[in-house]
Amino acid sequence: MFSPLIDELMRSLRCLPGVGPKSAQRMALHLLERDREGANRLANTLHKAIEGVGRCQRCRTLTEQDLCGICNNLRRDSTLLCVVETPVDVLAIEQAGSYQGKYFVLMGHLSPIDGIGPDDIGVDALLALVQSEAVTEVILATNPTVEGEATSYYISERIKPLGVVVSRIAHGVPLGGELEFIDGGTLAHAFSSRRPL
């Protein structure tokens, strides 16, 4: 309905998650009518990021350096290794502020249906890392979903033979959460994982 170039821009914007036809239209017209400078900066940054951003050689997270900021930080405790699914999980844990160890980012989880196996989430690299560095405890912090649980179980079975402690972060009622608003699955888990006082 618009001119070919504008239609093409609208189609291209659909690669962004959560952007449907209506949003793409609003975005394209906004950029062309009111923010060509922002659009140009976005295009340049996209090119630079595609070109420059790769994986941290140690923890697999996204970074344009050989080693990410956390892997490169000598003050972090290398004996603790926290395994998470994505870079956003690292961010969430860092923002909580209490963890001082290092990370390993799977960049996904096991999903046989989608053909995602141990190789795709770097399990061999994880095992090599646990052995080459003096890791004493691996903390599994994958999501409490079916896939996340299966991934944690698989990894724990692979790591245990190395004689390293493997733990799983606790799941249950969030601090400050009111029981009446917690979903049934979480509540059932909180009961079955209860601990003696």
Q: Write out the residues near its own copies by the rule CB under 8 A.
A: 1-6, 8-9, 12-13, 15-18, 23, 25-33, 35-36, 38-50, 52-53, 62-65, 68-69, 86-88, 91, 94-95, 107
Residue 28 or residue 140: which is nearer to its own copies going by CB?
28
Q: Which DSSP state fits 111? A: B
Question: Closest by alpha carbon to 58, among 108, 118, 132, 120?
Answer: 132
Residue 55 or residue 158: which is nearer to its own copies going by CB?
55
In degrees and rounded to multiples of 5, residue 35 shows phi and psi of -145, 60
Q: Bridge partners of 101? A: 77
The pair of structure tokens assigned to 41 is: 């900066």
Q: Of these partners, Zn ion, its own copies, none, which one is at the site of residue 191 (CB under 5 to 8 Å by kind)?
A: none
* Residue in 24, 28, 71, 140 binding Zn ion, rule: CB under 5 A: 71
Q: Of these partners, Zn ion, its own copies, none, which one is at the site of residue 98 (CB under 5 to 8 Å by kind)?
A: none
Residue 30 or residue 160: which is nearer to its own copies going by CB?
30
Separation CA 83–CA 61 (nearest Å): 11
First to last CA, the chain: 67
Q: Of these partners, Zn ion, its own copies, none, which one is at the site of residue 36 (CB under 5 to 8 Å by kind)?
A: its own copies
The verdict on 68 binding Zn ion (CB under 5 A) reads yes
- Nearest-5° angle of CA 53, CA 59, CA 65? 35
Residue 13 or residue 71: which is nearer to Zn ion going by CB?
71
The residue with tokens 């290794």 is 81
